Structure 1
Amino acid sequence: MALTQEQLSRITKELKRVYEGLLEDIRNEQDASGNTQIAELLGRVPADSGDISVADALVDLNVELIDRHVQGLRDVEAARQRLAEGNFGICADCETNIGFERMLAYPTARRCLPCQETREKMFAHKATPRL
Protein backbone atom coordinates (compact mmCIF):
# COMPACT_ATOMS: atom_id res chain seq x y z
CA MET A 1 0.00 0.00 0.00
CA ALA A 2 1.45 3.36 -1.05
CA LEU A 3 1.78 6.10 1.52
CA THR A 4 -0.91 8.78 1.64
CA GLN A 5 -0.14 12.49 1.30
CA GLU A 6 -0.78 12.93 5.02
CA GLN A 7 1.66 10.12 5.85
CA LEU A 8 4.26 11.57 3.48
CA SER A 9 3.81 14.96 5.13
CA ARG A 10 4.38 13.47 8.59
CA ILE A 11 7.49 11.66 7.39
CA THR A 12 8.79 14.83 5.70
CA LYS A 13 8.41 16.67 9.01
CA GLU A 14 10.16 13.84 10.83
CA LEU A 15 13.04 13.92 8.34
CA LYS A 16 13.38 17.66 8.93
CA ARG A 17 13.37 17.11 12.71
CA VAL A 18 16.03 14.39 12.42
CA TYR A 19 18.17 16.55 10.11
CA GLU A 20 18.01 19.55 12.45
CA GLY A 21 18.79 17.32 15.42
CA LEU A 22 21.86 15.94 13.68
CA LEU A 23 23.07 19.45 12.84
CA GLU A 24 22.64 20.40 16.50
CA ASP A 25 24.53 17.26 17.57
CA ILE A 26 27.40 18.18 15.25
CA ARG A 27 27.52 21.71 16.66
CA ASN A 28 27.50 20.34 20.21
CA GLU A 29 30.25 17.84 19.45
CA GLN A 30 32.38 20.59 17.95
CA ASP A 31 31.76 22.84 20.95
CA ALA A 32 32.58 20.07 23.40
CA SER A 33 35.21 18.54 21.18
CA GLY A 34 37.54 17.83 24.01
CA ASN A 35 39.64 20.88 23.18
CA THR A 36 39.25 22.06 26.76
CA GLN A 37 40.14 18.63 28.11
CA ILE A 38 43.10 18.37 25.76
CA ALA A 39 44.35 21.81 26.73
CA GLU A 40 44.03 20.89 30.41
CA LEU A 41 45.87 17.61 29.92
CA LEU A 42 48.65 19.09 27.84
CA GLY A 43 48.84 22.26 29.92
CA ARG A 44 49.93 20.32 32.98
CA VAL A 45 53.62 20.29 33.63
CA PRO A 46 55.14 17.88 33.03
CA ALA A 47 52.91 16.18 30.46
CA ASP A 48 53.58 12.50 30.12
CA SER A 49 52.93 10.12 27.25
CA GLY A 50 49.79 8.88 29.01
CA ASP A 51 48.30 12.38 28.93
CA ILE A 52 49.09 12.71 25.25
CA SER A 53 47.54 9.30 24.55
CA VAL A 54 44.35 10.29 26.37
CA ALA A 55 44.23 13.56 24.44
CA ASP A 56 44.63 11.67 21.15
CA ALA A 57 41.86 9.25 22.13
CA LEU A 58 39.51 12.14 22.94
CA VAL A 59 40.15 13.70 19.54
CA ASP A 60 39.59 10.35 17.77
CA LEU A 61 36.35 9.74 19.65
CA ASN A 62 35.06 13.20 18.79
CA VAL A 63 35.89 12.75 15.10
CA GLU A 64 34.10 9.37 15.09
CA LEU A 65 30.97 10.88 16.64
CA ILE A 66 30.91 13.73 14.14
CA ASP A 67 31.42 11.23 11.28
CA ARG A 68 28.35 9.30 12.46
CA HIS A 69 26.27 12.47 12.54
CA VAL A 70 27.45 13.44 9.06
CA GLN A 71 26.49 9.98 7.78
CA GLY A 72 23.08 10.54 9.36
CA LEU A 73 22.75 13.79 7.40
CA ARG A 74 23.62 11.91 4.20
CA ASP A 75 20.98 9.29 5.02
CA VAL A 76 18.36 12.02 5.48
CA GLU A 77 19.36 13.62 2.19
CA ALA A 78 19.07 10.24 0.44
CA ALA A 79 15.60 9.76 1.95
CA ARG A 80 14.58 13.22 0.73
CA GLN A 81 15.85 12.30 -2.73
CA ARG A 82 13.76 9.11 -2.70
CA LEU A 83 10.75 11.21 -1.68
CA ALA A 84 11.34 13.57 -4.59
CA GLU A 85 11.73 10.66 -7.02
CA GLY A 86 8.59 8.94 -5.78
CA ASN A 87 10.26 5.74 -4.60
CA PHE A 88 10.34 6.49 -0.88
CA GLY A 89 9.17 3.65 1.35
CA ILE A 90 10.04 0.92 -1.15
CA CYS A 91 12.49 -1.74 0.02
CA ALA A 92 15.82 -1.57 -1.80
CA ASP A 93 16.09 -5.37 -1.75
CA CYS A 94 12.64 -6.87 -2.36
CA GLU A 95 10.86 -3.75 -3.70
CA THR A 96 7.84 -4.17 -1.42
CA ASN A 97 6.39 -1.31 0.62
CA ILE A 98 8.28 -0.79 3.85
CA GLY A 99 5.24 0.38 5.78
CA PHE A 100 4.28 3.66 7.37
CA GLU A 101 4.99 2.71 11.00
CA ARG A 102 8.58 1.69 10.22
CA MET A 103 9.12 4.74 8.03
CA LEU A 104 7.80 7.05 10.73
CA ALA A 105 9.98 5.40 13.39
CA TYR A 106 13.03 5.22 11.12
CA PRO A 107 12.46 7.62 8.22
CA THR A 108 15.80 6.90 6.55
CA ALA A 109 15.12 3.14 6.32
CA ARG A 110 15.96 1.65 2.93
CA ARG A 111 14.71 -1.86 3.65
CA CYS A 112 11.64 -3.56 5.03
CA LEU A 113 12.13 -5.21 8.41
CA PRO A 114 12.57 -8.80 7.11
CA CYS A 115 15.18 -7.69 4.54
CA GLN A 116 16.98 -5.55 7.13
CA GLU A 117 17.12 -8.46 9.58
CA THR A 118 18.49 -10.74 6.84
CA ARG A 119 21.11 -8.15 5.94
CA GLU A 120 22.19 -7.69 9.55
CA LYS A 121 22.59 -11.45 10.01
CA MET A 122 24.52 -11.74 6.77
CA PHE A 123 26.96 -8.92 7.56
CA ALA A 124 27.13 -9.21 11.36
CA HIS A 125 30.49 -10.95 11.26
CA LYS A 126 32.07 -8.19 9.16
CA ALA A 127 31.78 -5.50 11.83
CA THR A 128 35.16 -4.36 13.06
CA PRO A 129 36.09 -1.87 15.74
CA ARG A 130 36.94 1.52 14.35
CA LEU A 131 38.90 2.97 17.24
Structure 2
Amino acid sequence: MHKLSEFQVNNFKRQLKSRFMELRNEIREELLSYDNQQYRELAGAVHDSGDESVADLLVDINFASIDRHVHEINDIDAALMRIAEGHYGICIECDSPIAFKRLLAYPAAKRCIVCQTLYEKTHAAKIPPDLEVNL
Protein backbone atom coordinates (compact mmCIF):
# COMPACT_ATOMS: atom_id res chain seq x y z
CA MET A 1 0.00 0.00 0.00
CA HIS A 2 1.13 3.49 -0.70
CA LYS A 3 0.67 6.87 0.93
CA LEU A 4 -2.34 8.85 -0.28
CA SER A 5 -1.64 11.69 -2.68
CA GLU A 6 -2.60 15.25 -1.84
CA PHE A 7 -5.29 15.03 -4.54
CA GLN A 8 -6.77 11.88 -2.95
CA VAL A 9 -6.73 13.41 0.54
CA ASN A 10 -8.42 16.58 -0.75
CA ASN A 11 -11.06 14.48 -2.51
CA PHE A 12 -11.78 12.56 0.71
CA LYS A 13 -11.89 15.87 2.59
CA ARG A 14 -14.58 17.18 0.20
CA GLN A 15 -16.55 13.94 0.58
CA LEU A 16 -16.32 14.10 4.37
CA LYS A 17 -17.46 17.72 4.51
CA SER A 18 -20.34 16.98 2.14
CA ARG A 19 -21.48 13.99 4.21
CA PHE A 20 -21.15 16.07 7.39
CA MET A 21 -23.58 18.64 5.96
CA GLU A 22 -25.98 15.90 4.80
CA LEU A 23 -26.04 14.38 8.27
CA ARG A 24 -26.47 17.73 9.94
CA ASN A 25 -29.48 18.47 7.73
CA GLU A 26 -30.95 15.01 8.34
CA ILE A 27 -30.65 15.45 12.10
CA ARG A 28 -32.26 18.88 11.88
CA GLU A 29 -35.15 17.49 9.83
CA GLU A 30 -35.64 14.55 12.19
CA LEU A 31 -35.65 16.81 15.23
CA LEU A 32 -38.13 19.15 13.58
CA SER A 33 -40.37 16.19 12.81
CA TYR A 34 -40.77 15.59 16.54
CA ASP A 35 -42.77 18.80 16.65
CA ASN A 36 -44.96 17.48 13.87
CA GLN A 37 -48.69 17.16 14.56
CA GLN A 38 -48.42 13.43 13.78
CA TYR A 39 -46.47 12.81 17.01
CA ARG A 40 -48.88 14.83 19.10
CA GLU A 41 -51.80 12.92 17.64
CA LEU A 42 -50.07 9.60 18.27
CA ALA A 43 -49.29 10.49 21.87
CA GLY A 44 -52.89 11.65 22.42
CA ALA A 45 -54.27 8.46 20.87
CA VAL A 46 -52.54 6.16 23.36
CA HIS A 47 -55.28 4.23 25.08
CA ASP A 48 -53.61 1.10 26.42
CA SER A 49 -50.19 -0.37 27.08
CA GLY A 50 -50.03 -1.83 23.55
CA ASP A 51 -50.61 1.58 21.99
CA GLU A 52 -48.11 3.09 24.40
CA SER A 53 -45.52 0.48 23.42
CA VAL A 54 -45.96 1.28 19.72
CA ALA A 55 -45.64 5.02 20.41
CA ASP A 56 -42.50 4.42 22.50
CA LEU A 57 -41.03 2.20 19.77
CA LEU A 58 -41.56 4.86 17.11
CA VAL A 59 -39.85 7.49 19.26
CA ASP A 60 -36.98 5.09 20.07
CA ILE A 61 -36.46 4.30 16.38
CA ASN A 62 -36.17 8.00 15.59
CA PHE A 63 -33.74 8.57 18.46
CA ALA A 64 -31.64 5.58 17.31
CA SER A 65 -31.43 7.10 13.84
CA ILE A 66 -30.26 10.43 15.26
CA ASP A 67 -27.76 8.61 17.49
CA ARG A 68 -26.27 6.83 14.43
CA HIS A 69 -26.00 10.17 12.64
CA VAL A 70 -24.25 11.76 15.62
CA HIS A 71 -21.75 8.88 15.78
CA GLU A 72 -21.02 9.26 12.07
CA ILE A 73 -20.56 13.03 12.50
CA ASN A 74 -18.06 12.32 15.29
CA ASP A 75 -16.19 9.92 12.99
CA ILE A 76 -16.15 12.54 10.22
CA ASP A 77 -14.92 15.23 12.60
CA ALA A 78 -12.12 12.92 13.76
CA ALA A 79 -11.20 12.13 10.12
CA LEU A 80 -11.04 15.84 9.28
CA MET A 81 -8.78 16.33 12.30
CA ARG A 82 -6.50 13.52 11.08
CA ILE A 83 -6.35 15.23 7.68
CA ALA A 84 -5.37 18.52 9.33
CA GLU A 85 -2.68 16.74 11.38
CA GLY A 86 -1.37 14.76 8.40
CA HIS A 87 -2.42 11.34 9.77
CA TYR A 88 -5.39 10.60 7.50
CA GLY A 89 -5.45 7.11 6.03
CA ILE A 90 -3.28 5.69 8.83
CA CYS A 91 -4.76 3.18 11.30
CA ILE A 92 -5.09 4.67 14.79
CA GLU A 93 -4.26 1.27 16.31
CA CYS A 94 -1.30 -0.12 14.36
CA ASP A 95 -0.10 2.89 12.30
CA SER A 96 -0.44 0.90 9.06
CA PRO A 97 -2.00 2.48 5.97
CA ILE A 98 -5.75 1.95 5.65
CA ALA A 99 -6.61 0.29 2.33
CA PHE A 100 -7.72 2.77 -0.32
CA LYS A 101 -10.81 0.63 -1.07
CA ARG A 102 -11.79 0.82 2.61
CA LEU A 103 -11.49 4.61 2.56
CA LEU A 104 -13.57 4.71 -0.62
CA ALA A 105 -16.28 2.70 1.15
CA TYR A 106 -16.09 4.71 4.39
CA PRO A 107 -13.91 7.84 4.17
CA ALA A 108 -14.10 8.35 7.95
CA ALA A 109 -12.46 4.96 8.65
CA LYS A 110 -9.95 5.23 11.46
CA ARG A 111 -8.73 1.63 11.56
CA CYS A 112 -7.42 -0.82 8.98
CA ILE A 113 -9.73 -3.77 8.37
CA VAL A 114 -7.71 -6.10 10.63
CA CYS A 115 -7.80 -3.70 13.59
CA GLN A 116 -11.47 -2.79 12.95
CA THR A 117 -12.45 -6.46 12.95
CA LEU A 118 -10.59 -7.02 16.22
CA TYR A 119 -12.15 -3.87 17.70
CA GLU A 120 -15.66 -5.02 16.79
CA LYS A 121 -15.05 -8.46 18.32
CA THR A 122 -13.67 -7.04 21.57
CA HIS A 123 -15.98 -4.04 21.91
CA ALA A 124 -19.29 -5.51 20.80
CA ALA A 125 -22.19 -4.00 22.70
CA LYS A 126 -23.25 -6.40 25.39
CA ILE A 127 -26.63 -4.92 26.22
CA PRO A 128 -28.89 -7.27 28.15
CA PRO A 129 -32.42 -7.61 26.79
CA ASP A 130 -35.04 -5.42 28.43
CA LEU A 131 -37.33 -7.79 30.29
CA GLU A 132 -39.46 -5.06 31.82
CA VAL A 133 -43.12 -5.92 31.63
CA ASN A 134 -45.80 -3.24 31.88
CA LEU A 135 -48.63 -4.61 33.96
- TM above 0.5, one fold? yes
Question: Are the equivalent residues in 2 in contact too, given 1:90–1:98 (CA < 8 A)?
Answer: yes
User: Match for 1:76: what amino acid?
Assistant: I
For structure 1, which segment, 2-11 or 63-72, has the greater mean C-alpha deviation from structure 2 after superposition?
63-72
Identical columns (%): 44
Match of 1:6?
7
Q: Distance in 2 between matches of 1:70 and 1:87?
A: 23
Higher helix share: 1
Q: Distance in 2 between matches of 1:89 and 1:24?
A: 27
Deviation (angstroms), 1:120: 2.3
Answering whether residue 28 of structure 2 is matched by residue 27 of structure 1, we say: yes
Answering whether residue 86 of structure 2 is matched by residue 86 of structure 1, we say: yes
Q: Distance in 2 between matches of 1:91 and 1:36?
A: 46
Q: Distance in 1 between matches of 2:20 and 2:129?
A: 24
Deviation (angstroms), 1:99: 2.8
Deviation (angstroms), 1:112: 0.8
Deviation (angstroms), 1:82: 0.6
Q: Distance in 1 between matches of 2:126 and 2:29?
A: 28
Q: Distance in 2 between matches of 1:28 and 1:130?
A: 30
Unaligned runs of 5+ in 1: none
Map 1:20-59 onto structure 2 (within 5 A): 20-33=21-34, 35-44=36-45, 47-59=47-59
Map 1:97-116 onto structure 2 (within 5 A): 97-116=97-116
Question: Are the equivalent residues in 2 in contact too, given 1:75–1:108 (CA < 8 A)?
Answer: yes
